[in-house]
Structure 1
């Protein structure tokens, strides 16, 4: 992949971090906000970059792929250059670096709120809020906040996460801001390992739980994985939904086909994808993003375009 952040830009970014910390707050204030949450096709297409905040750095067989911050930022710059990609979802550090690089004008920015359940930790299900809070999302003029809600019936740590997410949904709604909830059913194996459960019953149940969080669902969107029976899963809610990319599979074409089937559901309004597009097997980030954009555009029907 070609270098898109010049050495001069990189040195300037590092120097700003040291000498002008106030530039971050200025960049938040100066960002030109988008007119809509949706792109010109009536869809939402975001790239996700909050994985490092949870210590999840591996993809494509490289356990440290996302640890190279300059490479991650360059990949994000490439993705955001596609006009159909209308925004980004990220933790505060990544969002602020993109702001300082000047690539977030007119883009939807969703702040990641709870990244405390570190990848690989014995207490990984304790998804505490360690990033943006609702007041910061408002103060920094973001379009919304995203929260992870992993639901494991055998882990009591799910309960405080439910409560914290409900509070965040309510607070964001009071500010007139989107709450993007990512409800994922998990199961604990006999050896203590936890795995995402992707059967339709578990996903539909997770959707109904997330839909009811907070004092109002008026500003809530759901971020859900593609699945084999999308009619059942996405028929469980009237809330607008986006399809998450998840862990990249060995066949990018299969991932695209799976997203495409799910995008046909009337409540589904777009894609939020991270590693699968930022770290494609062939290294062609622009090509991977363009392919996903074509799938999203081809899936847009009369229900999708306002």
Structure 2
């Protein structure tokens, strides 16, 4: 679906030419990027997520390849990053490299996605290897944080390898003084082998307590948390940790009311005392009405409205 309010089109031929002729241009762009502090502008963060393609997860709602057009995705990201109230972007190396070359990351947080080996739908999906940014890559490029996904299925031995790798990555990030956003889920496979995340309050509580205890220190650990359907479940879940948390967006699905339902869930959850922002991808980049700027501005407004209006669990 075309999106409204797009900036100038991304010149793919120029990007490819730079990559082919001057690969060192990526490092040069990273070196001259204007950086900022985590809470330099606000005490709540709005980060746009675009790390889905590196896992082979390209679908949005009923569109299985919505994120497959890279020029279109980059255009949506540039528009989102240009909106007031947006603090940064979470993405895999290829997308962050493109955004660096396009000059779209000045004064914005750059969060690198670290483990992308658990490809969507693969038999090895839970053996989620760290095939993306390494901690030393994030430090070398002057990026601001990293993110890792931690899916745990008690019936899948691959979960233990991912759990161990995640703990060591938390240690490495802390040693470098870099925040790491850990996104934990308890999950299971159905009779057809498809993986499902358990969003019950009990499952979210368990996943958060496991993630909070990873590594030799939690000083630089943040949690990236799904929003449950019931507000009381969300309050119970987030009462299980004192780590700062951000809410993930997920795919709101089709239908005229899906987006509004999603916004209302965010509004309620943002009032909980541990929540420090939103990290949202498809709901902002691919809204049902195509209005990327409108979706981003709505999320920014929700953050402004909930500052200072804390609900204690």
State the partner residue of 2:247: 243
Tell me by how many angstroms 1:61 deviates: 1.2
Deviation at 1:296, TM superposition (A): 1.5
Q: What is the alpha-carbon distance in structure 1 between the residues aligned to residue 53 and residue 240 of structure 2?
A: 31
Asked whether 1:252 is paired with 2:259, we answer yes
Q: Are 1:6 and 2:13 an aligned pair?
A: no
Q: Deviations over 1:201-254 (max 9, x none)?
A: 100110000000011000000000111211111111000000000122331000
Comparing 289-298 with 206-215, greater Cα deviation is found at 289-298
Structure-1 separation of matches of 2:297 and 2:40: 15
The residue number in structure 1 matching 2:298 is 291
Within 5 Å, give how 1:1-306 maps onto structure 2: 1=3, 3-6=6-9, 9-34=11-36, 36-38=37-39, 40-227=41-228, 228=230, 229-250=233-254, 251-301=258-308
Runs of 4+ that moved beyond 6 A: none
What's the Cα RMSD here? Answer: 1.4
Matched residues, number? 302
Deviation at 1:39, TM superposition (A): 5.6
User: Is the partner of 2:46 in helix, strand or coil?
Assistant: strand
Equivalent pair of 2:188/2:196 in contact (CA under 8 Å):
yes
TM-superposed deviation, 1:302? 6.5
SS at match of 2:276: strand
Normalising by structure 2, what TM-score? 0.93
Report deviation, 1:41. Answer: 3.1
Q: Distance in 2 between matches of 1:283 and 1:151?
A: 35
Question: Separation in 1 of the partners of 2:153 and 2:40?
Answer: 35
Which blocks of at least 5 consecutive residues in structure 1 are unaligned? none
Distance 1:21 1:199 in 2: 46
Gaps of 5+ in 2: none
Could you report, residue by residue, the CA deviation over 1:18-41 in whole angstroms, capped at 9, with x for unpaired residues? Answer: 11111011111111111x213633
Per-residue deviation, residues 168-208 of structure 1 (Å, max 9, x unmatched):
10000000000110001112223322211100010011000
Retained in 1: the 8 A contact 2:6–2:79? Answer: no
The answer on whether the counterparts of 1:184 and 1:206 sit within 8 Å (CA) in structure 2 is: yes
How far does residue 303 in structure 1 lie from its aligned partner after superposition?
Answer: 6.5
